[in-house]
Structure 1
């Protein structure tokens, strides 16, 4: 199976397991800059050179050799499950993507027909009941994750623990797992542990939020989207994420983790 979703600098200074909706655009650009002294011109997900990716066949043997020998500092980044699933809804379901089209073609018409979800009209700018539509989307996400119906779960709302586990199961080990909510603090520790060709100043680099502006703005506080049933569904599909990455399940309004990630626990529980 190898190491899907894994990126590595060309200098092999650092290895990163991508977790969608967890600052991956900014992290990828920092990795690119650390080697080349400039940012990639465009969405880093579109780059085909300058950064090793498992999706590029030429990169696979290099990534595999590095990870198997654990030659470089290896890390990933996680995010509060409540804000992550909300971001997925507004970006991927309500938003128009950078190619000018809806995400995954017929996905939104399917959701409108089968789940009664509204997305703000053809361009996502019309008023609609965000809370009602989000809760219906959450039912759909649960159906994809639990029963793979009416489709396989999408990478943007499948559990973070699932992404992170593939790396461990296939022989990888993480040195650091940090929080999107404390990005500068966590990313600085990564930078301090790697030998960069070009110094990265986190205080001055831009944030590459490629999903920003795709969809309507969130109109309510995070906690308003989650009633008792929604929280029950969140626990059903993201229980491991809350437990392993130390986020507050009982209070959707608290986006911050309660404590640091226990790397030994992560490797033990996800390594089966």
Structure 2
């Protein structure tokens, strides 16, 4: 199985396990900058050189050797499950992607037909009942994760613990797992522990948000999208994420974690 979703700087200063919808564009650009003294021109997900990625065949043996021998500092970043699934909905389901098309081609028509979801019209800009549509999307997300129907779960809404566990199960070990909600503090803690070719000043680094502007703006506070049934579905999908990464399940309005991640617990529970 190897190390899917793993990126590493060319200098091998640091290894990162990508978790979709958790500041991965910004993190990738910071890694690129730390090696080259410039940002990648375009979406870092499209970069095919200047960085090792598991998706690039030539990078696989280099990443595998490094990760299995724990040759470099390894980290990842997590996000509140409530805001993460909401972000996935507005970006991937309601938004037009950077290629000018809908995400995954026939996915949105399928959702409109089978789950009665609205997405704000052809361009995602018309008014629609966001709360009603989001709750129906949540049902679909649960169906994909629980029963792999009507399709396999998508990386943008499958549980963070699933992404993070593949790295551990195959022999990797994390030195740091930090929170999107405390990004500067967490990213600084990584930079403080590694040697980089080019110093990174987080205060001046732009936020690279590949999903910015793709879809409609969220019209309500986070907690308005989650009634009792929605919270039940979220728990069914993301129970381990809440428990391992210390997020507040009881209060969807509280995006902040309740405490630091216990790395030993993460390795013990996700390494099986």
Q: Report 1:162-177 matches (<5 A).
A: 162-177=162-177
User: What displacement does 1:214 show?
Assistant: 0.1
Q: In structure 2, how many angstroms separate the alpha carbons of the residues matched to 1:55 and 1:210?
A: 19
Partner of 2:193: 193
Q: In structure 2, how many angstroms separate the alpha carbons of the residues matched to 1:84 and 1:16?
A: 19
Partner of 1:148: 148
Structure 1 spans left out of the alignment, 5+ residues: none
Partner of 2:72: 72
User: What displacement does 1:2 show?
Assistant: 0.5
Q: In structure 2, how many angstroms separate the alpha carbons of the residues matched to 1:32 and 1:39?
A: 6
Superimposed CA distance per residue, residues 60-104 of structure 1 (whole angstroms, 9 cap, x where no aligned partner): 000000001101100000000000000000000000000000000
Superimposed CA distance per residue, residues 17-45 of structure 1 (whole angstroms, 9 cap, x where no aligned partner): 00000000000000000000000000000
CA RMSD of aligned residues (A): 0.3
Partner of 1:55: 55
Q: Secondary structure at the match of 1:16?
A: strand
Superimposed CA distance per residue, residues 103-151 of structure 1 (whole angstroms, 9 cap, x where no aligned partner): 0000000000000000000000000000000000000000000000000
Q: In structure 2, how many angstroms separate the alpha carbons of the residues matched to 1:260 and 1:61?
A: 33
In the alignment, is residue 236 of structure 1 matched against residue 220 of structure 2? no
Partner of 2:33: 33
Partner of 2:110: 110
Q: In structure 1, how many angstroms separate the alpha carbons of the residues matched to 2:184 and 2:130?
A: 31
Q: Secondary structure at the match of 2:142?
A: helix
The alignment of Structure 1 onto Structure 2 pairs a total of residues equal to 272
Q: In structure 1, how many angstroms separate the alpha carbons of the residues matched to 2:202 and 2:157?
A: 28
Q: In structure 2, how many angstroms separate the alpha carbons of the residues matched to 1:173 and 1:181?
A: 23
Q: In structure 1, how many angstroms separate the alpha carbons of the residues matched to 2:82 and 2:46?
A: 27
Scaled by the length of structure 2, the TM-score of the pair is 1.00
Q: In structure 1, how many angstroms separate the alpha carbons of the residues matched to 2:31 and 2:48?
A: 14
Q: In structure 1, how many angstroms separate the alpha carbons of the residues matched to 2:65 and 2:109?
A: 44
Q: Secondary structure at the match of 1:59?
A: helix
Structure 2 spans left out of the alignment, 5+ residues: none
Partner of 1:4: 4
Moved over 2 A (4+): none
